[in-house]
Amino acid sequence: MESFLIKGGVPLHGEVTISGSKNAALPIMAATLLTDEPCVIRHVPDLSDTRFMAQILQSLGATVKFKNGTLNVRANKIRGYADYDLVRKMRGSICIMGPLLGRLCKARVSLPGGCIIGARPINLHLKGFASLGAKIEIEGGYVDATAKKLAGSAVFLGGRAGSTVLGTANVMMAATLADGVTVIESAACEPEVVDLANFLNTMGAKISGAGGPTITITGVGRLHGAKYEVIPDRIETATFAIAAAATNGEIMIHGARADHLRAVLDKLNEAGVKIENRGGNLAVRRNGKLKSADVTTLPHPGFPTDVQAQLMALLALAPGISIITERIFESRFMHVSELARLGADIEIEGPSAIVKGGRPLSGAPVMASDLRASAALVIAGLAAKGTTQVNRIYHLDRGYENMDAKLRKLGARIQRVEENS
Ligand code: EPZ
């Protein structure tokens, strides 16, 4: 297993280019199952998650070529069954269910198991499929959805934490080939949902309202092949901006979409980080001293839960008390005890973490637990005095393309090493 060895204390300087969005690419890759014609998807990040999804498409019968960020898929003849061994590797694979149900009127997919950041049930996905007329059966760890014909209907998809991103994506994809009109209420408004709707419309779907809480899908008889380019990864953008601020560096981020990150840019500004949008490129540096700030994670356009851990690493450096409240996932504070190993002073009180910031951090061996927690440990390691070893970086490779190479280009002293070396 690999680790990152980081010699901290070097301000990041230079330029970095953002990769395609993991969370947009995954459902778009699944959506290619809705047609038997060839699809070409560009700006797909080369990650273990996207490679898993490519394997899942192949296991369903599609031909897939993935090279230099371009994916060629043809789901000519496919089957409606995805087995546990593949699906268990990546929760996001649940988003093949909507396309399979839409195209074949049947889908048998292994239930995604538990996740370290929360229970993450799929009841809302299944509620959406049932509202389209599908019969849902759960047996032996699998969920079976079958229907003679899908029929459009109105469905409310709001849950315990508000909207569901992949739930909205799944129901939207199934509804593209249903008879009649489907209206999704309390839909997720994330930019990744908009990107998926744009791709589906390029395939001939009739979707309106994506980006808002009400999405309308008018079913069509069939969808055709399409060419599409995935949006840049807003979470990667936020991660590099925070790394620059944490190390008191100055960087230029190329190929970012500031309009996808309003809540993050606003909060970073409050915390003493200056971010200038120069025609799609973001110039990032500190604006004097870092300042404490309070934040609550919310569905988009609120502050994204996928940036919560990285922001905590930054606020651990800002003098004063910051309160970070996680409202989306019930156990997404795995990074707190590891940040404490680097010297951060953070206490958990129910859904909130109270950060007493301003203490200098010092390097230590730490353990990555999930994708975004690991990014926070890398940021803290870059800001800390001495050497930090971040273990189990396979978590990072799931969602960040060549993170260490990009950081080295910005002057970071970071190496990928075998865990026990
Ligand atoms: C997507 O997951 C992202 N993953 C997550 O990013 C992200 O954290 C999350 O949206 C929220 O923004 C991908 O896009 C692949 P949800 P998703 O359904 O769709 C509850 C990362 O780091 N819920 O919007 O699975 C659920 O338990 C990952 O890149 C139900 O109760 O998240 C959670 O509390 C991590 N029932 C809340 O809703 C359901 O049927 C939001 O989950 C579905 C969800």
Q: Which residue has the higher pLDDT, 419 or 171?
A: 171
Residue pLDDT, tens place only, 301-322? 999 999 999 999 999 999 999 9
Residues 206-251: pLDDT tens digits? 999 999 999 999 999 999 999 999 999 999 999 999 999 999 999 9
Dump pLDDT digits (tens) for 44-78.
Answer: 999 999 999 999 999 999 999 999 999 999 999 99
Beta strands 320-325 and 295-296, pairing class: parallel
Q: Is 127 in the pocket of ligand 1 (CB under 6 A)?
A: no
pLDDT at 183: 98
Instruction: Determine whether the shortest distance from the Cβ of 130 to ligand 1 is under 6 A.
Output: no
- Ligand 1 neighbour 305 (Cβ under 6 A): yes
pLDDT tens digits along 9-24? 999 999 999 999 999 9
Residue 127 CA to ligand 1 centre (angstroms): 16
Interatomic CA distance for residues 3 and 420, integer angstroms: 9
Given a contact cutoff of 8 angstroms between Cβ atoms, the answer to whether 5 and 193 are in contact is no
The pTM of this model reads 0.98
pLDDT at residue number 88: 82
Please give the C-alpha separations between residue 61 and each of 70, 77, 94, 199, in angstroms, as whole numbers. 19, 6, 17, 22
pLDDT-derived band of residue 89, with 50, 70 and 90 as boundaries? Answer: confident
Residue 301 Cβ < 6 Å to ligand 1? no
3 state SS for 8-71? CCCCCEEEEECCECHHHHHHHHHHHHHCCCEEEEECCCCCHHHHHHHHHHHHCCCEEEEECCEE
List the residue whose alpha carbon is closest to atom 3 of ligand 1. 23
Q: Report whether residue 123 contacts ligand 1, using a CB cutoff of 6 Å.
A: yes
Distance 121 CA to ligand 1 centre (A): 9
Helix pair 165-175, 123-131: axis angle to 10 deg: 20
User: pLDDT band for position 115 (50/70/90)?
Assistant: confident
Q: Is the CB of 124 under 6 A from ligand 1?
A: yes
Atom in ligand 1 nearest the alpha carbon of residue 370? 22
Measured from the Cβ of residue 148, the count of other Cβ atoms closer than 10 Å reads: 9
Instruction: Indicate the average pLDDT of the chain.
Output: 96
Residue nearest to atom 44 of ligand 1 (CA): 164
Query: Cis (ω within 30 of 0) for the bond into 301?
Result: yes
What is the per-residue pLDDT for 85?
86
Residue 86 is predicted with a pLDDT of: 81
Beta-ladder partners of 136: 145
Q: Can you tell me the distance from the alpha carbon of 24 to that of 17, in angstroms, rounded to the nearest whole number?
A: 17
Question: Is 189 labeled as catalytic in the residue annotation?
Answer: no
Give the pLDDT band of residue 82 (cuts 50, 70, 90).
confident
- Residue 90 Cα to ligand 1 middle (Å): 13
Ligand 1 atom, smallest distance to 23 CA? 14
Residue 139 Cα, ligand 1 centroid: separation in angstroms? 23
**331: which 2 tokens?**
């156990």
The owner of tokens 């330029």 is 15
Atom of ligand 1 nearest to the CA of 235: 29
Question: Parallel, antiparallel, or unpaired for β 227-229 and 273-278?
Answer: unpaired
Is it the case that residue 27 has pLDDT exceeding 70? Answer: yes
Is 421's pLDDT higher than 70?
no
Assess whether the C-beta atom of 161 lies below 6 angstroms from ligand 1. Answer: yes
Tokens, residue 142: 């699998």
Q: Ligand 1 centre from 320 Cα, in Å?
A: 31
40 pLDDT higher than 90: yes
Q: What integer pLDDT is reported at residue 112 of this predicted model?
A: 87
CA of 164 to the centre of ligand 1 (A): 6
- Please identify which of the residues 39, 95, 105, 115 carries the catalytic annotation: 115
